[in-house]
A = this chain, B = another copy of it.
């Protein structure tokens, strides 16, 4: 017997999501409108359905998961918790390493946890069509999947360079019935304007967001809304099913509590989903080290100020209080495309400011080194984003060995890398380059942030 998988029966799936906003020591800073004043829920109504807006601003601690959402999640949830006994053995560490395996969903990542919930709430609200943007395609494919199962139309604006260079995620979206177009497209005013000025542009996430929001808010039938795959409070909420399941599974493995919780963070939803239920324990006195991991190429949490900034590069969203490199920051082309975001979820940032988390950055060469070690011991091939978390896991396991301590490490295995193997090729052949944001560039971006309307730079633990 070799107990590497800790299952959870369907009947034990969590029935409520956990809302960290209810427990943070200080209340969240409100999002601001273009006039610098806090916005009310009604201002978001053209973009999101009201039931999701209510979740976005809720401070209720527990929010019921509708049975019909659970019925869809059962296709792959509860997700397995596994113990990385082979990596432990290789590292000769006294640490016990557990990972929540979110790679088993049909699109291969944690993204459908919120895609299904968002699609369901849109449908409840009478919406017929959801628009969104996607970079490499993880989020777009998750939303396409969810809309297919709920019989909603799905329109995905995919950054042109990914649309052309990475056709497989696009095909995946089409298999699930979505209409996926390259952005900028001739289908929106925003897209036409950009194409007229820059006909050969490779596109960007900012451009794609502008197009997706435009299509949603200009639909005269009122039956179209927009969906975002990370950053917002309700997205974090939907992802907490990860951590809540993991808690039950750790208990059934006779572990009292993790000592360390680790997850990679781009917009923050994967990390938040696993960690927030444990952040609650920490607020209540538990001794847990909670580590969000980001790339050195895009050091939002570890080097950027906590300030008000736009969520998108086109300045169409409200201003959010978060650690930000500035909305004009263009991250270098690292393979972990899901971590290339200038900001970070406000809930994660507030928790960092409160001293509840210890963010850390790794470069992509160290991350691929950890990923290759993982693939050669555990046997599964991780996504480039997941590899960032793995670098921290390996470090913490080595530290436990040095200290001779039986630590329990829990981390999020956010996705598989089967559709992103090019980075491994570059790493193994020595062609992988690394990126670290130079100090003078960082200063320039921070100066910019001071000019944003109502910028309110506050110091986090590191600032």
Give residues in A with beta carbon < 8 Å to B. 1-5, 7, 10-11, 70-71, 74-75, 104, 106, 108, 145, 148-149, 167-168, 171-172, 174-177, 372, 375-376, 378-381, 418-419, 421-422, 424-425, 428
Contact = CB atoms under 8 A, between A and B. Distances in A.
B421 A171 contact: yes
A175 B424 contact: yes
B425 A376 contact: no
Contacts of A375: 175-176
Contact of A174 (B108, B148, B176, B425): B425
Going nearest first, the 10 A-B pairs with the smallest beta carbon separation are A171-B421, A106-B379, A171-B425, A2-B71, A168-B421, A2-B74, A106-B380, A175-B375, A175-B424, A75-B379
Nearest to A108: B418
Given A1-B10, A175-B424, 14 more contacts: A2-B70, A7-B7, A106-B379, A106-B380, A106-B381, A145-B379, A167-B421, A168-B418, A171-B428, A175-B372, A175-B376, A175-B421, A176-B376, A418-B418
A459 to B, nearest CB: 43
Nearest to A13: B1
A379 B421 CA distance: 23
23 contacts: A1-B10, A2-B10, A2-B74, A4-B74, A5-B10, A75-B378, A75-B380, A104-B104, A145-B379, A167-B425, A168-B418, A171-B421, A171-B422, A171-B428, A172-B421, A174-B424, A174-B428, A175-B372, A175-B375, A175-B424, A175-B428, A177-B376, A419-B419
A380 B112 CA distance: 13
A149 B75 CA distance: 30
A7 B76 CA distance: 12
Contacts of A108: 418
B2 A376 contact: no
A351 to B, nearest CB: 33
